[in-house]
A and B are shown apart, each in its own frame.
Chain A
């Protein structure tokens, strides 16, 4: 008998082998689509931004306080758009993070089962409302309301857009946070109650820290949504680039600028057209930064039960 003899009953089945390889390949292709899309977007952003930065020095882009690429005397400072983005996001997060967290704590630790089953889908419906609806809600309802309190508030402003955006983001924050809290094992809660803790103490001192990595992920998701939100700001915040940290003023965000320019009739390849990509790259880098931060937080605070 030859040394590397394999009995028929144990021999590798060729057909099964081929089937396995085909399935594996199909799964691989499916995974490639999302990776390829991301890589494609990044490549295009980088390539077009490269063309832009051939004509505009990076230093000017980062430090100039004017953003007027469509004027005859064009200036290309990203700061006004950045400030608009940051201020509107900050307003939104000041609404969404506290409210979202409180709602999550309530639903996970206090609400009776029946109420939670009803409240959660309704809350998630908030996230399903088209953002253009929120935009006009901010412009036509919230702004006039705010003007009763602050009569000098302009018709377009970051405050109203930010507040409404915050409401839109609440379900993203509360839903993911609540899932994280519900995943905390009952044994930990019982341990806390057995020490004589109240429900509130248990929720705050045991469940919340135990779910921290998931809650941090929820916050990061909220931040990414706020930074990337377009429609509400384009409609309700005005589209004038304005370097300000005051939410009571109108201003353009990076996304609002992109949508404004992309809808205009800029010739392909002009410097004005290239600004879209430079602004887009800035936005992508910001979101990337927050995602990396979120990933790091999750790894740092992850607990296995």
Chain B
């Protein structure tokens, strides 16, 4: 793989086949106007693994995640420095000549609060296909069903695909948003605290879903909940004040972190 400054993963990762890099941030800095929110972040995202970003509020974990699908481009005054490589394209996503819309077509996102569109359940899931210009009924039908099945929602909604999405419960709405993100076969799925607005039962079903989805797709998840990171992720990154403090296999981070700061946060002495 290309030369990198990313922290190397400890020996524990060597068990099983070596992970393949799907993406990688290299010396990433990010600025909201004058304020530097991310400082020199370098870390890999491994293919078909779940990588969790943890850290106290304001540490920059959401900001970091939103660099991957160029969401910061939507607001004036934001500035990136450094690179986010996407493989196998071997292309820097932050390059001026990269079209953010093409990036978002391959890297989907699920938000903190369920945000279904004011449309039917069917049209919500079909949205990504529609904006790509797919109109063939049979193809869209198939994709919608497949996505809803992958999001474990099909059995609950198959009889009422024409209903407004707002009529679903909060947990169902979030699974609908996951189905929406899946319908376009993304390569990376970003989850920005996907369960923070949900009750424990809905949370458990989303976590199960994430575990199932990593068969197909690379996942990056921001979470406030350390137990959640421990439960769902293969790799964990601990961030603090815009810096990456430690990145490693999740078990290592939670059982024997190398960094004192990480240990303090994990054990609840800080944060």
Chain B positions within 8 Å of A112 at CB level: 76
| B119 contacts chain A at the CB level, 8 A cutoff | yes
Is B128's CB under 8 angstroms from A303's CB?
no
Interface contact tally, CB-CB below 8 A? 69
Q: Nearest-CB distance from A292 to chain B (Å)?
A: 24
Give the size range of B's interface with the partner.
Answer: 20 to 34
Is B109's CB under 8 angstroms from A187's CB?
no
Is B131's CB under 8 angstroms from A194's CB?
no
Q: Nearest-CB distance from A304 to chain B (Å)?
A: 8
Contact with B along A203-216 (1 / 0, CB 8 A): 00110011010000
A187-B115, A188-B117, A210-B118 known; A194 vs B101 contact (CB < 8 Å)? no
Contact with B along A243-273 (1 / 0, CB 8 A): 0000000000000000000000000000000
A201-B131, A205-B131 known; A190 vs B71 contact (CB < 8 Å)? yes
Residue of A205, A209, A210, A303 near B130 (CB, 8 A) is A205
| B184 contacts chain A at the CB level, 8 A cutoff | yes
Is B118's CB under 8 angstroms from A194's CB?
no
B209-255 residues with Cβ-Cβ distance < 8 A to A are: none
B166-212 residues with Cβ-Cβ distance < 8 A to A are: 166, 177, 180-181, 184
Which residue of chain A is the closest to B127 with respect to CB atoms? A195
Residue of A191, A196, A205 near B115 (CB, 8 A) is A191
Tell me the bound Cα distance from A177 to B39 in angstroms: 42
Residue of A193, A195, A198, A205 near B184 (CB, 8 A) is A195
B residues neighboring A (CB under 8 Å): 69, 71, 74, 76, 101-102, 104-105, 108-109, 111, 113, 115-119, 127-128, 130-132, 166, 177, 180-181, 184
Name 29 A/B residue pairs within 8 A (Cβ), A-sorted. A187-B111, A188-B118, A189-B74, A190-B74, A190-B115, A191-B111, A191-B116, A191-B117, A191-B180, A194-B109, A194-B111, A195-B128, A195-B181, A195-B184, A196-B104, A196-B128, A196-B132, A196-B184, A197-B101, A198-B101, A201-B131, A205-B131, A209-B117, A209-B118, A210-B117, A210-B118, A212-B118, A303-B118, A303-B166
